[in-house]
Amino acid sequence: MKRFWNPFLSSLTPYVPGEQPRLEGLIKLNTNENPYPPSAKAIEAMRKAADDSLRLYPDPSTTALRRALAHSYRLKPEEIFVGNGSDEVLAFLFQALMGQPGGCAYPAISYSFYPVYCQLYGIDTKPFELSDDFSIDLAKVSHEAGSLILPNPNAPTGIALPVEAILEHARQHPQRLVVVDEAYVDFGAASCLPFINELDNLMVVQTLSKSRALAGLRVGFAFASPDLIEALERVKNSFNSYTVDRVAMAGAIAAIEDEAWFEANRAQVMKSRKTLSDALQNIGFEVLDSKANFLFVRHRSHDAAKLAQGLRQKNILDRHFAKAGIDQFLRISIGDEDQCQALILALQILISAEAA
């Protein structure tokens, strides 16, 4: 027995992150990291920030970063919260806001961290099924639900919901807090961000991890009306005043300001997504319509777990979820052009070997 554990710990089921092995030559397409290096300006800003000033605590209010975000997203700084990755932002917002009477609704096939936070904070869960085509239908949200969270585009399907559908839901349910997790929105979906002024029950969460190629930096954001943001500040300041360090703050500001890098990077990822999607369809895969930096695919005649295992033996990692309804799918992050080609080649070999 773990004799010093607080009782609730034994019943927790923590989130399982994708593997992060350090193998030479590994083609890592399993955790939706950006295959390209981050903005050179961001790296330069972080080098500069790694100086004598590190003896001082960072600004607990992340003022300069919130100002930079306010400028480029046309918001007020008091409509912005910054955290140590959007996972931390989500943790704070579940603790601060998602425990509304009626419980928390989320798509049953979605980011699997949501039910973990619900369990951690004792929040009732109200998962709702996807439609047969794997899209989200907000008419399926339980009438009682006091809060709703959904990724848009959804993970792991990559399918985006039109902003209008989300706004209409938020307008029809003013008593329900609606949180849109836009971790992948920059790869071709529309954002709900312009509507947080109009709707005081709408919150948008974003991250630098995917579309700014800074997963290692750990910076994420929430955008909402000031009283929702203040709720997150209260939890943060009851937990750790300094969640965003000086180096991260400098890198994040430079990354946000480097529009040219951002536009070129996302255009490249979207172009590779199209090429990869076509190539996968040519070798017998069904490919869901992705607006994210990954594809969710299943083969007409080959078992997904076996394909994932075969790829692993060829030093290529993707993500397979052994979960009812999606266990014949592989989630493949969009790599650079060489990685995408290597993946197609490996799949061609696996498919023909198994068929023979």
Ligand X SMILES: *Cc1c(COP(=O)(O)O)cnc(C)c1O
Number of CB atoms found within 10 A of residue 143's CB: 9
Q: How far apart are CA 210 and CA 151, in angstroms?
A: 14
Distances in whole angstroms, Cα of residue 163 to Cα of each of 143, 189, 232, 266: 21, 9, 24, 20
Yes or no: say if 144 and 155 are a contact pair by the CB < 8 Å rule. no
209 lies in the binding site for ligand X (CB under 6 A): yes
Amino acid symbol at 300: R
Assign 296 to helix, strand or coil.
strand
Q: Considering only 37-45, 162-170, 207-215, 255-263, which stretch makes contact with ligand X by CB under 6 A?
A: 207-215
Options 118, 150, 155, 252; binder of ligand X; rule CB under 6 A: 155
The dihedral over CA atoms of 226, 89, 37, 348, expressed in degrees to the nearest 10, equals: -120
What minimum distance in Å lies between the beta carbon of 155 and ligand X?
4
Q: How far apart are CA 164 and CA 239, in angstroms?
A: 36
Q: Which is nearer to ligand X, 87 or 318 (CB)?
A: 87
Q: Which is nearer to ligand X, 86 or 272 (CB)?
A: 86
Options 33, 79, 181, 186; binder of ligand X; rule CB under 6 A: 181
What minimum distance in Å lies between the beta carbon of 3 and ligand X?
33
Assign 299 to helix, strand or coil.
strand
158 lies in the binding site for ligand X (CB under 6 A): no
What minimum distance in Å lies between the beta carbon of 92 and ligand X?
12
Q: Considering only 19-27, 81-89, 98-106, 326-334, which stretch makes contact with ligand X by CB under 6 A?
A: 81-89
The region, left, alpha or beta by phi > 0 then psi within -120 to 50, assigned to residue 259 is alpha
115 lies in the binding site for ligand X (CB under 6 A): no
Q: Which is nearer to ligand X, 285 or 294 (CB)?
A: 294
Amino acid symbol at 86: S
146 lies in the binding site for ligand X (CB under 6 A): no
30 lies in the binding site for ligand X (CB under 6 A): no
Q: Which is nearer to ligand X, 127 or 310 (CB)?
A: 127
Q: Residue 47 is encoded by which pair of tokens?
A: 């080098």
Options 35, 103, 151, 158; binder of ligand X; rule CB under 6 A: 151
What minimum distance in Å lies between the beta carbon of 264 and ligand X?
22
Q: Which is nearer to ligand X, 252 or 346 (CB)?
A: 252
Yes or no: say if 205 and 232 are a contact pair by the CB < 8 Å rule. no
Q: Is the peptide bond before 156 cis (omega within 30 degrees of 0)?
A: yes
Q: Which is nearer to ligand X, 35 or 151 (CB)?
A: 151
Q: Considering only 50-58, 83-91, 282-290, 298-306, which stretch makes contact with ligand X by CB under 6 A?
A: 83-91
Q: Which is nearer to ligand X, 34 or 272 (CB)?
A: 34
Yes or no: say if 182 and 191 are a contact pair by the CB < 8 Å rule. yes
Options 39, 147, 207, 333; binder of ligand X; rule CB under 6 A: 207
Q: Give the count of residues interacting with ligand X (CB under 6 A).
A: 12
Closest CA to 213 of 272, 181, 261: 261
CA angle 327–305–35, rounded 5-degree value: 95
* Contacts with ligand X, residue ranges (CB under 6 A): 85-87, 111, 151, 155, 181, 183, 207, 209, 215, 220
